[in-house]
Amino acid sequence: MTSSGRTRPTVGVLALQGDVREHVRALTELGADAVPVRRPGELEAVDALVLPGGESTTIDKLARAFDLAEPLRRRIADGMPAYGSCAGMILLADRLVDAIDGQQTFGGLDVLVRRNAFGRQVESFEEDLDVAGVDGGPVRAVFIRAPWVEEAGPDVEVLASVRTGPAAGRVVAVRQGGLLATSFHPEVTGDLRVHALFVDMVRERLG
């Protein structure tokens, strides 16, 4: 485990499947030491973790195959900061709607998340969102077969909701302590502000 007080945190990106390189690039640009994580030993060496977009069921199965699932649950429960985008939101949720048989999550976020909500019920789309804690104007949000939050517990802060269209009012960004999750993919737009919010959360955690 790394020591507190450093301004250059080591942030892992779960590298089992999904858009890993884009997250590594964004974190590196923000001054973090970004490293891929595929094994328990690599997980133990990081201060925080990004769970990327991809296919949540595949990531779940691979995490179990690589003996990462239980170490991930333990570190998240112990307070490791984590950010999940799209599939990562699903993996951080305590409860799921429309999960496949046997699907598991790492948990930590007191939310009920619907898988593939924007893929099955609303077509994938883009929208400008006001995200609490992110300054500088709206964030361009890209939704690709994305989930949304159907219920959030009392300790969960809602950061953003869809403003227009058939999904208006649906919650798409949340925070609970050191955990952050978005339905959308900030890593594909070149806008680093959501990642910057997370890196700031990690630095706060390190003291």
Active-site amino acid positions: 86, 185, 187
The rounded Cα 121 to chain-centroid distance in angstroms is 22
Tell me the residue type at 166: P
Distance, in Å, from the CA atom of 113 to the CA atom of 161, rounded to the nearest integer, reads 14
Residue 36, beta-bridge partner list: 13
Contact 16, 63 (CB under 8 A): yes
